[in-house]
Amino acid sequence: MKNGRSFWDQLTSILYPVAFGVLIVTLWQTGVLHAILGADTFILPLPGRIFDIIQDNQALIMTNVQATLIVALGGLLLGSLVGYLLGVLAAVFSKWGKGGLTLASAFNAIPIIAIAPILNNLTKDFSSDANIRSMFAKILVVTITSTVAMSVNAYRGLTELKPFSLDLMKSYAATERQIFFKLRLPNSVPYIFTALRVSVPGSVISALVSEYFAEYIIGVGRQIRENIVLAQYATAWAYITVACLMGILMYVVLLIFESILLKGRR
Amino acid sequence: MKGINFKKFFASPRWVTVAWVVGLIVVWEIGATVVAGVKRTPENVLPHLYQIIGSVFSTQKANSTQTAIQIVLANAWVTLARAGIGFVIGAFAGFVLALLMSLFSAVEKMIFPYLMIIQMIPILGMAPIVLAITKDIDKSRIVIAAILTFYPVATNTLSGFKSVEREKRELMYSYAANRYEVYRKLLIPSSLPYLFTGLKIAAPMAITASILVDTLQGGGGLGCMMSQSLKHAMTIYVFWQIVFLSAIIGILSYQLMAWLEKLVSPNQRGEGAATTAKEQMQ
């Protein structure tokens, strides 16, 4: 009996969301959704048409996806590295570090929109090629947005140790260096993933927004905007779909990495 | 003697923060000095802080009728009011959905996976399309701010409902409390710290969203003034004032939520609750 119920439970937890998704897509395809939102098929094209456009423009879309991915991943990598190093510094010089991190989390509340144009202006001299210099500016925006989450979490991972583990290490007469590499560093690994779960979706969003302000017209985010300016809503929707897929895929990749690396730790 | 005072001065965490701020100002000024030496129009790249502050108090008109700071403040109001309305609508909808998901497990099963997916969707990237659908910049500001507020509030509140210990629920059951009483007296109060965690995440996001939507159309608002200033339609200091203002507003909105939380639930202040909320959310 109990077995049967848990099977039913599992079945419904797959069946319900799928049914909900099918319902939405059906409403969309049959035009009911348009009636509710008061939109026409020009502004809100049917799902079939969006997928046709994605298929027809594969090559062009891929170049833009590539540009956005370089920005998102480059910034994510750079920001996470810098963030982790800041976390380590904060853990080593705890008194000063903590104040710095408080300030860093305050920076988290600063809108990306305020940062993007500043960095655009700052990097004007970086290269004579508009593509490269605006790429650099965009990566910097993503770097800044993903640094904060990582530094705060790394600091927590390096300092919030299991009770008595520090005492145990001290009783072994372990040096600070040994404590760092054998206790603090491994302890911080799950926290790195906590930070990444925030900053991976964040990096895609920052990349898209920074493209809005970039000098050189490339990237998924910019294409959404450009196509709407040209009133090509169906193409814009194709890029929106691609952007969503990018965000979801990156998150899934992160989850896979996490489940491999943290196997048996949680 | 002097050395001891010096140590005491830096002992309190507040002074450490102040020292960091001073350090940042110094770094900014060094950068500004370097830029001033190299660039032809340094104010476009990195002006001195005193120049920005000076521009706030300047009486010189930036357009035909207003000074720079008057323009900024007038447009800030437009942006903030819309962000605020969207924020309230989104927070309310998020709370109601969390309540529904906690009441009916079928609803939770149906919606929760999509709530997770929606977090990975760059909503800000969809801003232009929302503008196209609503055909009105005010409405789209409200809609985007509401969507962005909606999911952190919904997910955090739901994990708040779930965090209530089984024993407490069983105790309520043994009192023969009905569903309404259980929610009214146990679940909703204990979900409050989680709700506020969601609100704190959402508040700066709602403002970012509202400013971004401004840049899409020339209908006033901070983002609109920002892009005009960047295109040199008016003095560049309007841009710098907006940068600082939006940073301040972002931080203040977070503080406002923290303050509201203290007002609503002065006894339970949960840094711990907040972290568990985040962990459960993931």
CATH number, domain with residue B83 = 1.10.3720.10
Q: Tell if the CB–CB gap between B122 and A247 is shorter than 8 Å.
A: yes
What is the domain extent for residue B35? 1-46
Q: Which residues of A touch B20 (CB under 8 A)?
A: 99-100, 103
Q: Please, what is the average pLDDT of chain B? A: 79
Residue of A nearest to B107 (CA): A16
Q: Which residues of A touch B110 (CB under 8 A)?
A: 16-17, 19-20
Amino acid at position A175, single letter: T
In this complex, the residue of A121, A209, A243 whose CB is nearest that of residue B45 is A121
Q: Are residues B32 and B129 in the same domain?
A: no
Q: Are residues B153 and B206 in the same domain?
A: yes
Close Cβ partners of B32 (under 8 Å, ≥ 6 residues apart): B42, B46, B47, B48, B49
Residue of A nearest to B115 (CA): A17
Q: Is residue B154 within 8 Å of B111, Cβ to Cβ?
A: no
Q: Is the pLDDT at B50 greater than 70, yes or no?
A: yes
**C-alpha distances in angstroms, A48 versus A232, A245, A261?**
16, 16, 39
Residue from B38, B107, B121 to probe the interface with A (highest A Cβ count within 10 Å): B121
Q: Are residues B40 and B62 in the same domain?
A: no
Q: In the numeric block, which tokens belong to residue B94? A: 């998020």
- Bigger pLDDT: A137 or B126? A137
B90 alpha carbon, distance to own chain's centre = 13
Q: Are residues B30 and B113 in the same domain?
A: no
Q: Are residues B89 and B71 in the same domain?
A: yes
- Return the pLDDT at A145: 85
Lowest mean pLDDT among B29-38, B189-198, B217-226: B217-226
Q: Is the pLDDT at B52 greater than 90, yes or no?
A: no
Q: Please, how many CA atoms are within 13 Å of residue A21, restricted to the half-sphere of its CB?
A: 13
Q: Which residues of B touch A240 (CB under 8 A)?
A: 125-126, 129
Q: Are residues B101 and B81 in the same domain?
A: yes
Q: Are residues B143 and B164 in the same domain?
A: yes
Q: Are residues B28 and B54 in the same domain?
A: no
Q: Tell if the CB–CB gap between A117 and B239 is shorter than 8 Å.
A: yes
Tell whether ipTM is more than 0.90.
no
The shortest C-alpha distance from B131 to chain A (Å) reads 10
- Return the pLDDT at A73: 94
The shortest C-alpha distance from B156 to chain A (Å) reads 14
**C-alpha distances in angstroms, B219 versus A141, A197, B79, B137?**
27, 36, 10, 7
Residue of B nearest to A233 (CA): B129
Bridge partner residues of B61 (DSSP): B67
Tell me which residues of chain B, numbers 76 to 135, contact chain A at a CB-CB cutoff of 8 Å.
106, 109-114, 117, 119-126, 128-129, 131-133
- Return the pLDDT at B218: 64
- Bigger pLDDT: A239 or B188? A239
- Return the pLDDT at B87: 92
pLDDT digits (tens, 9 = 90+) for B152-179: 888 888 888 888 878 887 888 888 878 7
Q: Which residues of A touch B113 (CB under 8 A)?
A: 17
Q: In the numeric block, which tokens belong to residue A104? A: 């860093």
Q: Tell if the CB–CB gap between A233 and B129 is shorter than 8 Å.
A: yes
DSSP A121-140: HHGGGS-SSHHHHHHHHHHH
The residue among A133, A139, A160, A166 whose CA lies nearest residue A81 is A139
The shortest C-alpha distance from B159 to chain A (Å) reads 17
Cα first-last separation, chain B? 52
Q: Are residues B122 and B134 in the same domain?
A: yes
Domain count for chain B, please give it: 2
Q: Are residues B55 and B124 in the same domain?
A: yes
Residue of B nearest to A111 (CA): B208
Q: Is residue A209 within 8 Å of B212, Cβ to Cβ?
A: yes
Residue from A20, A86, A110, A250 to probe the interface with B (highest B Cβ count within 10 Å): A110
pLDDT band at B9 (very low <50, low <70, confident <90, very high): low
Q: Is the pLDDT at B204 greater than 80, yes or no?
A: yes
Burial of B117 (0-12, 13-18, 19+ CB in 10 A): middle
Bridge partner residues of B67 (DSSP): B61
Q: Are residues B228 and B143 in the same domain?
A: yes
Q: What is the mean pLDDT for each group of 10 consecutive residues in chain A (266 residues)?
A: 65 80 83 77 82 89 92 94 91 79 72 76 75 88 88 87 84 86 87 88 87 83 83 86 88 89 71
Q: Tell if the CB–CB gap between A194 and B278 is shorter than 8 Å.
A: yes
Q: Are residues B134 and B145 in the same domain?
A: yes
- Return the pLDDT at A76: 95
In this complex, the residue of B119, B124, B226 whose CB is nearest that of residue A208 is B124
Burial of B271 (0-12, 13-18, 19+ CB in 10 A): exposed
pLDDT band at B282 (very low <50, low <70, confident <90, very high): very low
The CA distance from A138 to A149, in Å, is: 18
pLDDT digits (tens, 9 = 90+) for B207-265: 888 888 887 776 778 888 887 887 777 778 888 888 888 888 888 888 888 888 888 87
Q: Tell if the CB–CB gap between A103 and B13 is shorter than 8 Å.
A: no
pLDDT digits (tens, 9 = 90+) for B56-92: 887 777 666 777 788 888 888 888 888 899 999 999 9
Q: Tell if the CB–CB gap between A237 and B129 is shorter than 8 Å.
A: yes
In this complex, the residue of A43, A109, A121 whose CB is nearest that of residue B133 is A43
- Return the pLDDT at B278: 41
Q: Tell if the CB–CB gap between B106 and A102 is shorter than 8 Å.
A: no
- Return the pLDDT at B272: 43
